[in-house]
Amino acid sequence: MENLERLVNEYQKNIENTKKYFSYTNQVREYNGYIFKKMRHNDRLENEIKWLKRLNQIDYNVPKFIGLYENIIITEKIDGQTIEDTNAHKYFYHIGELIANLHNIPVQENLEWKQNIKLQYIDLKDSVKDKMPNDIFKVATNFIEKRLENLSNSENVIIHSDIRPENIIYSNGKYYLIDLENMNIGDREYDFTRILNLLNEKEFYSYEDFKNLMDGYRSINHLQLSEERWQLYNKFYAFRIYSRMLCGKIGQDNKYEKYLKDTLLCENDKVTAWIKKYNEE
C-alpha cells in the first residue's frame, strides 16, 4: 500500500504535466507507465475492478490492474496504439476475433437476460417520458416494447457492452480491450450493438467492414446475427443515448442527436440489409 500511495502522490504532484485522454465521463491520465482513471460513479468503478481482476487471472487481453486509490483505478499502460473510429478498416477482422474470444470465456452466472434488459428499458422510459418529443417517444416505445415481448433468453456470455475501435488497443500483434466499466453477463448479439451502430452511422463504413468483422468472429465462434435482435438493440441503444442527452448525463451533439432521432423513427437501416446479405451468402 505504501508503494501505491507513493505512486499516487507523485502522480498528483505532477498531474498538470501528465498526458490526458479523452473520456465521456471519467478523467483518464497517463503517468510514468501507468494509467490513472478517476471514476465518477462508484458502481462502475467497482464493476471495472471486478472484471479487470477476473480477466487478469486468465490472461485475457485487458490492462493489468495495479490498485485502487480513493476513486482512481490504476492499471499498467499498454504500449500500443488506440484504434481510431475513423480509420479502423484494416482491424475489423481482428476485432471480431477479440470479441469471439471474450464470448468464449466460461461463465457460471445465471442471468435472465430478457428480464435484465426490460428493467433497464423501464428505468429509461420513466426518466424521459416528460422530456422526449411525444412523436419520437411513442414510436420508439411501441417498437421496443413489442420486440421485448418477443425476445427469447440467450446463452450467457461475458459482454463488454461498449465495443468500438477506440476501446481497443493494438500492441505488438495483439489486441486489448479497455474501459470495462460496463462489462456484464448477457446476450452475445447485444455486444455487437455499439460497433454496428457506429458502422450504421458513419457513411465511410461499408459492407466489407461488416463482413470482415463477422468473418473474424466466425473464425472462432459460429454466430448468425438476427435482423430482429439487431433492430431491437439498435433502437434500445438510440433510446438510451438520446435519453442520457435529454437528462443532461452526456453533452449535446446536434448532429448525433439527429442521427439518434432518425434511428428511433426509421424502419430500415443499412446494417439490417448487411445482416440479411451476410446470412444468405
DSSP per-residue string spanning 199-218: HHH-TT--HHHHHHHHHHHH
* 47 and 180 Cβ atoms separated by less than 8 Å: yes
CATH 3.90.1200.10 range(s) for the chain read 82-280
H runs (alpha helix) in the chain = 2-13, 42-57, 92-103, 113-128, 134-149, 193-201, 207-218, 227-246, 254-265, 270-280
pTM over 0.85: yes
| pLDDT category of residue 1 using cuts at 50, 70 and 90 | low
Q: Quick: pLDDT tens for 241-262.
A: 999 999 998 888 899 999 999 9
Residue 93's pLDDT is what?
98
Name the residue type at position 195. I
Output 5 or 184, whichever has higher pLDDT: 184
Question: What's the average model confidence in pLDDT over 151-177?
Answer: 95
Does 2 have pLDDT greater than 80? no
Does 239 have pLDDT greater than 70? yes
Question: What's the average model confidence in pLDDT over 98-125?
Answer: 95
* DSSP 8-state code for residue 190: G
Residue 194's pLDDT is what?
96
CATH superfamily name and code, 2-77: Phosphorylase Kinase; domain 1 (3.30.200.20)
Does 211 have pLDDT greater than 90? yes
Mean pLDDT of the chain: 94
Residue 91's pLDDT is what?
96
Does 65 have pLDDT greater than 60? yes
Question: What's the average model confidence in pLDDT over 192-208?
Answer: 96
Question: What's the average model confidence in pLDDT over 151-166?
Answer: 94
Q: In the chain, pLDDT over 90 holds for what percent of residues?
A: 85
Here the cell at position 256 is: 448525433
What is the C-alpha separation between 223 and 281, in angstroms, rounded?
14
Residue 111's pLDDT is what?
87
Question: What's the average model confidence in pLDDT over 118-132?
Answer: 96
Q: Quick: pLDDT tens for 5-23.
A: 889 899 999 999 899 988 7
What is the C-alpha separation between 182 and 139, in angstroms, rounded?
27
Report the chain's C-alpha Rg in angstroms.
19
* 45 and 71 Cβ atoms separated by less than 8 Å: yes
Nearest to 278 by CA among 233, 211, 227, 219: 211
Residue 87's pLDDT is what?
86
Does 188 have pLDDT greater than 80? yes
What is the C-alpha separation between 36 and 74, in angstroms, rounded?
5
Alpha-carbon dihedral sign for residues 104, 108, 114, 117: negative
Question: What's the average model confidence in pLDDT over 93-103?
Answer: 98
Could you tell me which CATH number the domain at 82-280 has? 3.90.1200.10
What is the C-alpha separation between 266 and 209, in angstroms, rounded?
23
CATH 3.30.200.20 range(s) for the chain read 2-77
3-class secondary structure, 21: strand
* DSSP 8-state code for residue 24: S
